[in-house]
Amino acid sequence: MASSLADRIIAFYRNLDIRETLPPGISIMNPYRKDSRVMKVVEEFYRKFYSDNNPRNIILGINPGRFGAGITGITFTDTIRLWEKCGIIMEGTESRELSSEFVYEMIDRFGGVNRFFSHFYLSAVSPLGFTLTAKEGKEINFNYYDNPDLLRAVYDFIVENIERQLDFGIKNDVCFCLGTGKNYRFLKEINEKYGFFNKIIPLEHPRFIMQYRRKVKDFYITRYIGAFSETINKKRFPF
């Protein structure tokens, strides 16, 4: 039987790993290898929303964080939203992430998870995340572009895995980049070199919005929905 988009995505995450040596103090965060519950969640999620071969546009964040995809394996999805919005339980763990809160509020306004995931596939420029061990021994989130040695180490990994995800049958006409600063600049740079997408549309990152612009959150939700709706309907919507 021919594989579905869900089959290809699940196989991607099951085999996802970084073999390059990272700079001292920086660790890879790979929930797909660390916690056996994660691949069960991944399979249930993608079979629920992606068991077809319809093309989607891709939305790329930065890299997974400790309380979202770093736990659930699903981009911009903490355990609270995984259960409340997607109907999937990850037993024994509870996590909350600001980015996930924004994304799923936006998805609700867009028309709900079924409508949203039928049009879009959420991922990240680096599909695996990183942590930095601080002086007091605490691990904190770390972005792929925060250290030039880390960026050099994972450059090929990033390029290879964008290509692998496009091979799922993802549309390459428009990519949405979450992050209008360093994430967008880097993605724009490699896109100019490798020609992944015809167009990249940057949108403010959900964490930035929730941390620094929460009072005007509705403005950004409207902006997101306008950009996504324009792509789907091929006509302009006011932000």
* pLDDT, position 92: 86
Query: Which tokens go with 161?
Result: 């895995």
The fold for domain 5-231 equals: Uracil-DNA Glycosylase, subunit E (3.40.470)
* DSSP structure string for 138-157: -EEEE-TTSSHHHHHHHHHH
Burial per residue of 62-88, b for 16 or more beta-carbon CB atoms within 10 angstroms, e otherwise: bbbbbbbbbbbbbbbbbbbbbeebbeb
Element containing residue 203 per DSSP (H, E):
strand 199-203
- The rounded Cα 97 to chain-centroid distance in angstroms is 13
130 three-state secondary structure: strand
Kindly state the DSSP code that residue 52 receives in the 8-state scheme. Answer: S
pLDDT 10s digit of each residue in the chain, 239 long?
459 999 999 999 999 999 999 999 999 999 999 888 999 999 999 999 999 999 999 999 999 999 999 999 999 999 999 999 999 999 888 999 999 999 999 999 999 999 999 999 999 999 999 999 887 778 899 999 999 999 999 999 999 999 999 999 999 999 999 999 999 999 999 999 999 999 999 999 999 999 999 999 999 999 999 999 999 886 443 33
Across the beta sheet with 26-29, what order do the strands follow?
A: 26-29, 129-133, 139-142
Residue for token pair 């809160």: 101
Phi, psi of 136, rounded to the nearest 5 degrees: -80, 5
41 three-state secondary structure: helix
List the alpha helices (DSSP H) in the chain: 5-14, 31-34, 36-49, 69-72, 79-84, 98-110, 113-119, 148-166, 182-194, 206-212, 217-233
CA distance 228 to 41: 26
* pLDDT, position 237: 38
pTM of the model: 0.94
Sign of CA dihedral 90, 96, 101, 103: negative
